[in-house]
């Protein structure tokens, strides 16, 4: 007899401390001219009003490798610059991730001591185990891994040094 237990992670929380003002962190998250400079190749576009669309757009080079133009989409639920952004998030590739439907991401930005901002990303992943595995991935970046830990590390590096992890 085989006994299989599946552990479903329904919420992932990531926190990073960044030597930058909350406004700079907000801009790095929400403005394409900033968010295209860290994380995965592409940019994120937001219409920062409740119900406004969100989409993550890949680069032509990534599209040439078979990825769709829009890799993720969703909508803005709440926008309170520079303190809080709540959005839905749905991967649009591959099909098994699309089927899981939208999840919810909350970006909490809080001023801390000494010119440091505390950024907390909470990703609610109920009924989305494959999406949970993708965003928690520890695989190498060029294997499609790194997830939120990579994105937030790269965001921090960019704001603190002016360069991404790519250099």
Least confident stretch, 42-46, 82-86, 109-113, 145-149? 145-149
Q: What is the pLDDT of residues 18-32, one digit of tens each?
A: 999 999 999 999 999
Q: What is the pLDDT of residues 131-157, one digit of tens each?
A: 999 899 866 655 566 899 999 999 999
Is 5 within a domain?
A: no
| Nearby residues of 117 by Cβ (< 8 Å), 6 or more positions away | 17, 18, 19, 20, 21, 22, 24, 25, 109, 110, 111
Is 3 within a domain?
A: no
Tokens for 50, please give them. 């409740």
Taking the whole predicted model, whether its pTM rises above 0.85 is answered as yes
Is 43 within a domain?
A: yes
Is 166 within a domain?
A: no
User: Does the pLDDT value for residue 4 go beyond 70?
Assistant: no
CATH number reported for the structural domain that contains residue 149 in this entry: 3.30.530.20
């Amino acid at each position: 007899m085989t006994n299989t237990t599946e552990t479903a992670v329904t919420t992932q929380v990531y926190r990073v401390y960044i030597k930058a003002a909350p406004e700079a962190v907000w801009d790095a998250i929400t403005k394409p001219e900033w968010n295209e400079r860290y994380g995965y190749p592409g940019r994120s576009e937001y219409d920062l009003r409740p119900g406004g669309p969100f989409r993550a757009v890949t680069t032509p080079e990534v599209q040439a490798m078979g990825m769709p133009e829009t890799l993720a989409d969703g909508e803005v639920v709440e926008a309170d610059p520079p303190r809080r952004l709540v959005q839905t998030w749905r991967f649009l590739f591959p099909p098994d991730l699309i089927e899981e439907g939208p999840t919810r991401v909350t970006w909490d930005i809080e001023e801390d001591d000494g010119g440091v901002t505390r950024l907390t990303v909470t990703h609610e992943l109920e009924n989305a185990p494959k999406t949970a595995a993708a965003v928690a991935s520890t695989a190498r970046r060029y294997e499609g891994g790194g997830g939120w830990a990579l994105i937030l590390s790269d965001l921090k590096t960019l704001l603190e040094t002016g360069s991404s992890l790519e250099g």
